[in-house]
Amino acid sequence: MARSAILNVMVQAAMKAGRSLSRDFGEVQNLQVSMKGPGDYVSQADRKAEEILFTELSKARPGYAFLMEERGLIEGDDGQHRWIVDPLDGTTNFLHGIPLFAISIALERQGQIVAGVVYNPAMDELYTAERGGGAFMNDRRLRVAGRTKLIDTVIGCGVPHLGRGQHGNFLVELRNVMAEVSGVRRLGSASLDLAYVAAGRMDGFWETGLSAWDVAAGILLIREAGGFISDFAGGQNMLDGGSIVVGNEIIQRALLKTVRKPVAPR
């Protein structure tokens, strides 16, 4: 596949940060770890990867703004472009030696995501997408799965942990979905969940309580792989609203209806 200059910048930054994460993943027991909140960790590895990404992306496009998980919003002189970056999506997995974590980089231009990269260095899986150019994993073209009945599907989800989210609401959603599908999976990294749906590995995904850096790159992967996506209200406020439901056209619609319906009384 031919990549644009800007996507090459994003890929090279992700690969460099990925090498740093891979080294730290092999020495995870030696990392300094602190808590941002209940069940919410940040490690020395997160900070090093974010510094690499900030440096590489700033060097390539000095005027662009940033929205980063650890540094927050950094204004730029450009006014049209913003990097949305998660240096380590799946920190808890990373700290427990589970190789399901990723670097997520999206480029937003005038409010629209135009390029995205999700990279899992533990498995050396690089997911890329450009608006209008398709989605790829290690240069293989991606397409969402074609199943049309919920009963045949495997659906991903996010599970709210200690101090996060509406646990009761999630249990209602899960009970509704469990009754309709072949299987439910929880990977622990929203960016990888979205990449897996784009690759056809899972048929759909839903989660609430997300931040823009969790989903920005994945949103473009889904769209460029032929998938459909909305927030829980059926709109397109995924970056700011924190909720997301994805799948192919039929499964996304059915999944949205399923997670939103109340539990029938027993």
Q: Which residues contribute to the annotated binding site for Mg(2+)?
A: 69, 86, 88-89, 214
Instruction: Give exposure, 170-195, as e/b (b: 16+ Cβ within 10 Å).
Output: beebbebbeebbeeeeebbbbbbbbb
Q: How far apart are CA 178 and CA 163, in angstroms?
A: 24
The first and second tokens of residue 101, run together, are: 């974590």
Q: Which amino acid, one-letter code, is at 162?
A: L
Q: Are 105 and 212 in contact (CB under 8 A)?
A: no
Q: How far apart are CA 57 and CA 40, in angstroms?
A: 26
Q: Are 224 and 133 in contact (CB under 8 A)?
A: yes
**Sign of the CA dihedral 42, 38, 65, 120?**
positive
Binding residues: 69, 86, 88-89, 214
Inter-helix orientation angle 44-60/5-25, to 10°: 160
Instruction: Give exposure, 89-124, as e/b (b: 16+ Cβ within 10 Å).
Output: bbbebbbeeeebbbbbbbbbeeeebbbbbbbbbbee
Q: How far apart are CA 147 and CA 88, in angstroms?
A: 31
